[in-house]
């Protein structure tokens, strides 16, 4: 077979050579040890936590080493393409602080290793497919869907591995005349790799590949034997081929991707070998897992777990710094220890390493994220929190934008209890924060809890006495002395322990009385310090709320 002739026959329009591309995309001029990483999301409209998890690894590896991190849009699967999805990817990642140095952006490509959108790179893939064909390392395959189905049935019936390989790869043996005939008849075809692998050998003779994975260490697996499709009938490459060609030409040094790609690693290694290229260093990340209700570890699922979608965190209003901090705790096992030793350090000062990454499954836990978020938000000043909340409300709750009319008022609210030695940790995410502080706003204020049973008959009497003695200028202790006095006057113990000792002598204790006041003012049994809240609410609003309950 004259492979050169075959290559020309199949790709007459491809005039550039591999050398042209090698020259157009030369080795990057970076310092020794600088890593080049990429994120290759598919524009399916769904950007998930796994993308962000991987993006973090990419970003840290590149930026810690003075390297480059770029965004490549992997849109070769046209069935999954969703309009506007590229925008979603770019915006979501930007929100979480992922900075790319080059690649696809909203304003077009940046960088000299593009085009960064796979669907625009058709000629490049075809050029390298042509090269493989001209060297007898790939071939056109004319098998139809039905024929492939029949092959699968036969393989199943005889318990052989599925796929097109060895004797099943019948198009390997076509003569030039047969190929010409089929092409003339307009038969569709794909381009397949002509694999050298053989898994039909006795077990101990099967050749194995060894790959040093930066996260998993040495991986040894049987070589590939599949004549994998590299170009589909449409001329569009499969993931396998696009990955190999792009990561070579874009001079990627480290490929960070999910563990779901491990089974196809032998294909990629064979492709790199056949093209005469050095493979990158692979970093296969662990699957994101969660504990289900029964306490079993399972994979996060798109269908069952809304928290898998990055949109979830934006809708709920998690602060990007909290999500970053949390992801690092699941990414690197020594991060938490580092954080305890360096509570105020910039997160980027932590030295991230692939060796400290889990290989067995990274456990994702919303409660833990919430705990971390509380600590992270504590370090963000009220003015920045205000801006963050307002930005969130403008995007997700425009009906609440009026809450931001009075900056000073809201900043005081956000700061309640945060200056103390043991500060309050009330804030977790925007949605929850707004619910938490809603009583400060008359249009959101409502009575949510019931008055305590011990004092429910005296609500009006308690609040009447409270209002008549109310002096907005009282300090905290003068203010509480008055509540104690009201309690005593109305038959409540001034101290809870007196009530506990002699419950028959009192209607209740001072705590029940102050809960009545709390509910009148805040609508809730639990809240931060009442005196402090009144100072923020102001005298007028305080009197008005108490007055509502006076008959």
Which residues are near ligand GLU by CB under 6 A?
40-42, 74, 243, 257
Question: What are the φ/ψ torsions at residue 349 (nearest 5 degrees)?
Answer: -80, -15
Burial 63-94 (b: 16+ CB within 10 A, else e): bebebbbbbbbbbbbeeeeeeebbebbbebbe
DSSP string, 389-442: HHHHHHHH-GGGGGGGS-HHHHHHHHHTT-SSSS------SHHHHHHHHGGGST
Query: Do residues 527 and 533 touch, judged by C-beta distance below 8 A?
Result: yes
Nearest to 256 by CA among 375, 98, 364: 98
C-beta of 122: minimal distance to ligand GLU in Å? 17
Residue number, 11 or 125, with CB nearest to ligand GLU = 125
Contact 210, 220 (CB under 8 A): yes
CB of 211 vs ligand GLU, minimal distance in Å:
15
Helix extents (H) in 438-475: 459-469
**Nearest distance in Å: CB 289, ligand GLU:** 18
Q: How far is the CB of 193 from ligand GLU (least distance, A)?
A: 18
Q: Is 442 left (phi over 0), alpha (psi -120 to 50) or beta?
A: alpha
Cβ nearer to ligand GLU, comparing 132 with 256: 256
Instruction: Kindly state the smallest distance separating residue 76's Cβ from ligand GLU, in Å.
Output: 8
CB 39 within 8 A of CB 142: no
Least CB distance to ligand GLU at residue 435 (A): 35
DSSP per-residue letters across 311-323: HHHHHHT--HHHH
Q: Tell the smallest beta-carbon distance from residue 309 to ligand GLU (Å).
A: 14
Place of tokens 């509480």: 480
User: Would you say 243 or 518 has its CB closer to ligand GLU?
Assistant: 243
Q: Which is nearer to ligand GLU, 140 or 237 (CB)?
A: 237
- 3 state SS for 126-179: HHHHHHHHHCCCEEEECCCHHHHHHHHHHHHHCCCCCCCCHHHCHHHHCCHHHH
Residue nearer to ligand GLU on the CB measure, 278 or 502: 278
Considering the complex, state which of residue 225 and residue 246 has its C-beta at the smaller distance from ligand GLU: 246
CB of 224 to ligand GLU, least distance (A): 17
Nearer to ligand GLU, 42 or 373 (CB): 42
Contact by Cβ (8 Å): 392, 430: yes
CB of 257 to ligand GLU, least distance (A): 4
**Complex with ligand GLU: residue 243 or 290, whichever CB lies closer:** 243
Q: Using CA atoms, how far apart are residues 176 and 194, in angstroms rounded to an integer?
A: 16
∠ CA 109-353-250, rounded to 5°: 25
Task: Give the span between the Cα atoms of 71 and 35, in whole angstroms.
Answer: 15
Q: For tokens 């002096």, what's the residue? A: 471
CB of 356 to ligand GLU, least distance (A): 21
For ligand GLU, the closer of residues 42 and 527 by Cβ is 42
CA–CA dist 495, 487 (Å, integer): 9
Q: Which is nearer to ligand GLU, 45 or 391 (CB)?
A: 45
DSSP classification of residue 196:
-
């Amino acid at each position: 077979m004259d492979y050169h002739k075959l290559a020309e026959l199949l790709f007459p329009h491809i005039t550039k050579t591999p050398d042209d591309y090698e020259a157009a995309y030369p080795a990057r001029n970076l310092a020794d040890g600088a890593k080049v990483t990429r994120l290759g999301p598919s524009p399916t409209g769904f950007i998930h936590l796994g993308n962000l998890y991987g993006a973090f690894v990419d970003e840290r590896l590149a930026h810690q080493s003075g390297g480059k991190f770029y965004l490549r849009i992997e849109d070769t699967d046209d069935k999954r393409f969703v309009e506007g999805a590229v925008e979603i990817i770019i915006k979501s990642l930007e929100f979480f602080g992922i900075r790319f140095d080059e690649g696809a952006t909203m304003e077009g490509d940046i960088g000299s290793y593009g085009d960064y959108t796979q669907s625009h790179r058709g000629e490049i893939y075809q050029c390298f497919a042509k090269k493989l064909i001209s060297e007898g390392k790939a071939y056109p395959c004319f098998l139809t869907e039905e024929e492939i189905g029949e092959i699968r049935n036969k393989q199943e019936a005889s318990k052989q591995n599925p796929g097109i390989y060895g004797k099943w790869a019948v198009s390997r043996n076509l003569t030039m005349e047969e190929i010409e005939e089929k092409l003339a008849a307009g038969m569709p075809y794909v381009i397949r790799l002509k694999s050298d692998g053989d898994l039909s050998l006795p077990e101990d003779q099967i050749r194995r590949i060894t790959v040093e994975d930066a996260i998993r260490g040495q991986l040894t697996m049987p070589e590939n034997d599949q004549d994998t499709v590299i170009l589909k009938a449409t001329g569009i490459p499969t993931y396998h081929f696009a990955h190999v060609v792009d990561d070579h030409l874009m001079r990627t040094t480290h490929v960070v991707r999910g563990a779901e790609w491990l089974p196809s690693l032998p294909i990629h290694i064979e492709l790199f070998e056949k093209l005469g290229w050095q493979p990158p260093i692979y970093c296969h990340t662990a699957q994101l897992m969660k504990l289900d209700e029964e306490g079993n570890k399972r994979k996060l699922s798109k269908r069952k777990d809304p928290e898998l979608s990055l949109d979830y965190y934006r809708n709920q209003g998690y602060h990007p710094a909290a999500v970053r901090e949390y992801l690092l705790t699941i990414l690197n096992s020594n991060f938490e220890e580092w954080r305890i030793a360096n509570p105020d350090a910039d997160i980027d000062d932590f030295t991230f390493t692939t060796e400290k990454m889990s290989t067995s499954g990274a456990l994702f836990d919303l409660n833990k994220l919430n705990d971390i978020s509380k600590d992270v938000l504590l370090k963000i000043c009220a003015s920045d929190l205000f801006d963050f909340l307002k930005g969130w409300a403008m995007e997700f709750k425009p009906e609440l934008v009026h809450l931001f009319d009075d900056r000073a008022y809201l900043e005081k609210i956000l700061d309640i209890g945060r200056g103390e030695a043991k500060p309050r940790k009330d804030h977790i995410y925007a949605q929850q924060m707004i619910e938490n502080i809603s009583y400060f706003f008359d249009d959101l204020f409502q009575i949510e809890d019931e008055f305590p049973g011990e004092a429910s008959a005296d609500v009006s009497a308690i609040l009447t006495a409270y209002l008549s003695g109310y002096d907005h200028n009282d300090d905290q202790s003068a203010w509480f002395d008055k509540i104690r006095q009201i309690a005593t006057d109305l038959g409540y113990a001034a101290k809870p322990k007196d009530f506990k000792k002699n419950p028959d002598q009192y209607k209740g204790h001072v705590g029940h009385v102050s809960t009545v006041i709390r509910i009148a003012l805040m609508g809730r049994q639990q809240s931060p310090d009442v005196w402090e809240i009144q100072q923020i609410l102001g005298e007028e609003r305080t009197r008005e709320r108490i007055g509502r309950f006076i008959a």
